[in-house]
Amino acid sequence: MNFPQNLPKIIHYIYQSFEEFVSPRHCEICGNHIGLNKRKLEFICDNCFYLLPKAPSPDLILNSLITNFPGDELFISNAISLFSVSGTNHIFIKIIHSLKYKSFTKVGYELGHLLGKELIKFHFLDYDGLIPVPIHVARKRERGYNQSEIISKSVSKVINKPILNNLIIRNRYTLSQTKFNSTQERKDNLIDAFSFKSNPNEVQNKIFLLIDDVLTSGATVNTIAKLLIESGAKRIDVATLAKA
C-alpha cells in the first residue's frame, strides 16, 4: 500500500498507524518487524541500512567510466551514486528490482531524497535541469511509471532544479542492458535508441544531470550524454542510486 505524499504530519501518522495495523511493516532486507520506529529509510531497519555498501567516490566512478569509454568516447563529466552493488543476487538489486517491477515506488522517492542530499554534499548543483533516463512508452505503459522519473522527483525537491521529462525519448524497445555481458554489446544495443522529442537547440550551453536507478557500464547514460553534447550542451553529469 502506498500512502499519498505531502499529507499534514498528524494525518500522515494516523494513516501510517492504520497501515501498520492492517499490515505490520517489516524490513525488506532482514524481515524483522520495524513498525513505526523512526529510522533512516522507511522500508528497511537501521541495522540493514548501515550495512549497505556505499558507492565509490565520484572520482573512482569516473575512472571506471573512462576505462569503459577510452579516448574521446566518454561524454560524462561527473558521476555520483549512493550504494555499491555486485552480482544480481545483491540485496540492494532486489530492492531496485521491486522499485522497477513491483510498483514499490516509495523506495524510489526515499532513495531519491538521499541522492539529492548526496549531490549537495559533493556540491554537484549547477544544473539547468534534471533528465530522468527515459524508458520506451510501451514499457512505461506496462509498468505504469518510469522509475527514473520517480527518483528525479525527490532529487528535484531536494536540490530545487526542474525535471525535463519531454526533452529526450527512447525510440526503440531495447533489450534490457542486463542481458549483455560486455560493454561493446551494451553499446551496440543502444545505437539510435534515443532522440530529441523537443527542439535540440534548447540544450545549447546548458548543464544537465542524468538520473537513473543503476549505473553499470554507463553505456545508456553515455549514449544520452553524447546526443546532448553533440547538440551543444555544455556538461553532462550522472546520478544513480547504485553503482554496479
Contacts with Zn ion, residue ranges (CB under 5 A): 27, 29-30, 45, 48
Q: Which lies closer to Zn ion via its Cβ, residue 98 or residue 165?
A: 98
Q: How far is the CB of 34 from Zn ion (least distance, A)?
A: 7
Residues facing residue 238 across a β-bridge: 79, 210
CB proximity list for 23: less than 8 A, separation 6 or greater? 1
Note whether 120 and 156 are within 8 A (CB).
Answer: no
Q: Which lies closer to Zn ion via its Cβ, residue 30 or residue 120?
A: 30
CA–CA distances in Å: residue 34 to residues 8, 38, 44, 124: 23, 9, 8, 34
Query: How far apart (Å, rounded) are the C-alpha atoms in residues 177 and 190?
Result: 9
Q: Which lies closer to Zn ion via its Cβ, residue 99 or residue 228?
A: 99
Q: How far is the CB of 114 from Zn ion (least distance, A)?
A: 17
Q: How far is the CB of 84 from Zn ion (least distance, A)?
A: 18
> Can you read off the three cell numbers belonging to residue 125?
548543483
Q: How far is the CB of 39 from Zn ion (least distance, A)?
A: 10
Q: Which lies closer to Zn ion via its Cβ, residue 14 or residue 30?
A: 30
Q: How far is the CB of 51 from Zn ion (least distance, A)?
A: 8
Q: Which lies closer to Zn ion via its Cβ, residue 85 or residue 131?
A: 85
Q: Which lies closer to Zn ion via its Cβ, residue 114 or residue 210?
A: 114
Query: How far apart (Å, rounded) are the C-alpha atoms in residues 27 and 4?
Result: 21
> Can you read off the three cell numbers belonging to residue 209?
544531470
Supply the angle between the helices 105-121 and 147-159 in degrees, to the nearest 10: 40
Q: How far is the CB of 95 from Zn ion (least distance, A)?
A: 11
> Can you read off the three cell numbers belonging to residue 167?
526533452
Query: How far apart (Å, rounded) are the C-alpha atoms in residues 11 and 7?
Result: 6
